[in-house]
Amino acid sequence: MDIGFRVFQLDTSNLKKWQPPKDDEELEQTLVESVSNILPGRTEEDLLYEIILKMGFDLAWPIETRTVADTQVFVVADGALFICLADRITPAVAEGMAQLHRELAPEVWKVVCRDTGFRDDAAKVNVREILKAEGLDDAAFVTV
């Protein structure tokens, strides 16, 4: 039963820390293991709350889930923070977030995306530029 009360437990980060290999022979294996930087067994919700805290937002702010271009986007603090942890983030998702930003008109605006959610660097740059054209500062676009 949901009565509007959540309990949180302090845990380690959901993100893997870079561990440099001890020698050149381990480099390839270390790089392969680092492709996904999210620890196994961690949920999207685990990562969501860690990002909210690391971005300086209070856990009491409302969190809304929206579907943008068939992709789940979390809208935190009435549009002050958008979080997209999808496996496939496209320019259409960025355009949808830009439209949501116009509708909600928050005073501040930050966007966090999953780094492995982009097909390649060009897709990431395209998303960043679409959001920048909407008024998002470069420093307000973060990938995890």
The pLDDT tens digits of the residues spanning 79-132 come to 999 999 999 999 999 999 999 999 999 999 999 999 989 999 999 999 999 999
Q: What is the pLDDT of residues 29-64, one digit of tens each?
A: 776 666 677 777 888 898 999 999 999 999 889 999
Q: What is the token pair recorded at 124?
A: 């990431």
pLDDT score of 1 more than 70: no
Contacts of 57 (CB under 8 A, 6+ apart): 76, 77, 80, 81
pTM over 0.95: no
Q: Helices 91-104 and 121-133 meet at what angle, rounded to 10? A: 20
